[in-house]
Amino acid sequence: MSEPVGFTRRAVLGLAAGAFALGLAGPAAAEVDFAGKTIEWVIPFSAGGGSDTWARFNAPLLSKYLPGKPVVVVVNEPGGGSTKGTNLFAARAEPDGLMILGTSGSTQFPYLLGDPRVRYDYKDWKIAMAGPTGGVVYTTPALGLKGPEDIGQLKGKDLVYASQGATSLDLVPLLGFRLMGLNVQHVFGFKGRGDGRLAFERGEVNIDYQTSSAYLKNVQPLVEAGQAVPLFSWGVLNEAGEVVRDPTFPDLPSFVEAYETMTGAPPSGPDYDAYFAFFTAGFPAQKMVFLPKDTPDEIVAAYQKAFEDMKADPDYQASAEAVLGSYGQVTGALAQALFEKGTTLQPELRSRVAGMLASEYGVKLGEE
């Protein structure tokens, strides 16, 4: 197997080490005062999905620790595989700290692939916080599976998946299912993973995945009620850059383990390299919070300090793992390193995936 594409935690820590001692850049955050203000946190997805759950968990605590305790309101702007709301932020956000953007891998992927709907550039933003996450693939018991050990029974079955689009975060399951040799019909056009879950609950689709926060909140009850069967998590990267089990779901096999169960061998080759690149951009560097690049350093510093103070809050510590999973939200140099790695793609992998999407799914992207 070729060397993994993307970052390892060790590599990211190395990138961050030189700048870590600098702490939060700019003047003291105390110079900023949002008293009496309302801050819009734009989430370019529908309600009920992982990004929405993540933002709504963080918003009250962010309000508590920003100077002046402003009201933080989550604004859902779904559409276009998350490009609609992100384009809106790019066009409207002023550098005053009163509008922030929460992105996901579904926002990064269209950018990485040159999707013509993209009217935003990550280079135009400053990062305030990054939050890795995971995800779990599950199916319906109607297909006869009892648990992850039965994943081989999916071979030859007609599967249907509710997708936000081929250039959204749903590219990871598209590439992963394809690599496994599963027969999956991807129905494009859903506005968020929450909508995909509802389609699963209505019986319109029979395989789905949710990011960790949405899975814990909305799918685990379905599993406990016997209405859903978990198959595998995407996994996380260890310090050597290897895919291992997600600590939030230690009893579930990782994608690599599930692949080996189905095929009898570990994944390798250029198609796996392409999958791995988008998995890396989509999950270890998935959730990020941005401000416009012209935002004064003291405002960015105020946000970074608020996120750091939030993590020390007893309410956050008591609830974060149950809601978000076992992932740390980071600021400063480490967030910057994740930002850079999550928004960069090797040209040959972009070309390979773009060619596959065009030939197999009729999805044609913009020119380089």
In-domain check, residue 123: yes
Residue pair 231/141 in contact (Cβ under 8 Å)? The answer is no
What is the distance, to the nearest Å, from the Cα of residue 252 to the centroid of all Cα atoms in its chain? 19
Q: Are residues 286 and 163 both part of a single domain?
A: no
- CB-count exposure of residue 30 (10 Å: 0-12, 13-18, 19+): exposed
Q: Are residues 207 and 123 both part of a single domain?
A: no
For residue 194, what are the domain limits?
135-279
The residue out of 248, 279, 310 marking a domain boundary is 279
In-domain check, residue 245: yes
CATH code of the domain containing 153: 3.40.190.10
Residue 45 tokens read as: 């997805």
* Count of alpha carbons within 13 angstroms of residue 147, beta-carbon side: 5
Give the pLDDT mean for 310-321: 92
What confidence tens digit (pLDDT) does each residue in 159-213 have?
999 998 888 889 999 999 999 999 999 999 898 889 999 999 999 999 999 999 8
- Residue 35: its H or E element: none
pTM for the whole structure: 0.76
What confidence tens digit (pLDDT) does each residue in 219-244 have?
999 999 999 999 999 998 877 778 99
For residues 209 and 110, give the distance between their C-alpha atoms in angstroms, rounded to a whole number: 19
User: What is the reported pLDDT for 327?
Assistant: 83
CA angle 38, 44, 48 (to 5 degrees): 90
**Percent of the chain surpassing pLDDT 70:** 91
User: What is the reported pLDDT for 105?
Assistant: 86
Residue pair 228/147 in contact (Cβ under 8 Å)? The answer is no
In-domain check, residue 162: yes
Instruction: For residue 86, name the pLDDT band (cuts at 50, 70, 90).
Output: very high
In-domain check, residue 354: no
Q: Are residues 246 and 275 both part of a single domain?
A: yes
For residues 39 and 263, give the distance between their C-alpha atoms in angstroms, rounded to a whole number: 50
Number of domains forming the structure of the chain: 2
Q: Are residues 111 and 140 both part of a single domain?
A: no
